[in-house]
Amino acid sequence: MKKLLLKKEPKISFTKAGYQKLLEDRAKFLAARPEAVEHLRKSREMGDLSENGYYKASRQQLSFLDSRIRRVERLIKLARIIEPTRVKISDGKNECEYHIVGGYESDPVKHTISEQSPLGRAITGKKAGDEVDVITPGGIKKYTIVSIS
C-alpha cells in the first residue's frame, strides 16, 4: 500500500503590521457576516426567488464575505512573521531606499518590495558594499547595496 504524502504548503511572509491587518480584516468580515445572513433571510421571505433582486444581491454579498473570510483565514494559517529589512541601493546615478516585506504587503509606489521580487531575491543574504544583478523587463541592471538594516 502506498503512503499518501501530503504536500506541505509554503509559509507566506508578513511583517507584524501586515499580520495585524489580516487579523483586523478577519474581524471586520466576521462582524459583517451576521447582518448579511439576516438580509438573506429577509429576502427569502419575500416570495419568488427567481425574480427577487434583493435575494440575489443578498446571496452575492454573503458569498463575497464568506470567500474573503476563507482567504484571510488561510493567509493567517500560513503566515510567518518577518522583520522588514530596509535597504538602500544605488545604480551609480540614483540612490533608492526600499523596505523588503512580505508579498501581500509590497507596494513599489510606497517603496516596499516583496522578498520574492527580483530585487528582493537578489538582495537577500547580501551585505553593504555587495553588487547585485537584477533581471528587469529592460534587461539586467547592476546595483550596489549602500546599506542594509
Instruction: Give the C-alpha separation, 78 to 89, whole Å.
Output: 31
Q: Which domain holds residue 58?
A: 12-81
pLDDT tier at 70, thresholds 50, 70, 90:
very high
Task: Quote the CA–CA distance of 72 and 18 in Å, as a whole number.
Answer: 12
Residue 6 lies in a domain: no
- For the stretch 98-128, pLDDT in tens is 999 998 999 989 999 998 899 999 998 899 9
Return the pLDDT at 9: 79
Residues 99 and 122 in one domain: yes
Is residue 5 a part of any domain in this protein? no
Please check whether residue 24 lies inside any domain of the structure. yes
As for how many domains the chain has, the answer is 2
Residue 67 confidence (pLDDT) above 70: yes
pLDDT for residue 2: 58
Q: For position 141, which CATH number holds?
A: 3.10.50.30
> What would the grid cell of residue 66 be?
464568506
Does residue 45 lie in a domain region?
A: yes
Tell me, yes or no, whether 72 and 105 share the same domain: no
Q: Which residue has the higher pLDDT, 149 or 68?
A: 68
Rounded to a whole number, what is the largest CA-CA distance in the chain? 72
What average pLDDT does the structure give for the chain? 89
What grid cell was written down for 49?
Answer: 426567488
The answer to whether residue 35 is domain-embedded is: yes
Query: Is the C-alpha dihedral spanning 118, 84, 126, 92 positive or negative?
Result: positive
Domain boundary among 81, 107, 132: 81
pLDDT of residue 45: 81
32 and 45 inside one domain = yes
- Residue 101 inside a domain? The answer is yes
Q: What is residue 15's three-state secondary structure?
A: coil
Residue 7 falls inside a structural domain: no
* Final residue belonging to a domain, choices 32, 65, 81: 81
Query: Residue 3 domain-assigned?
Result: no
From 81, 98, 125, give the residue that closes a domain. Answer: 81
Whether residues 94 and 71 share a domain: the answer is no
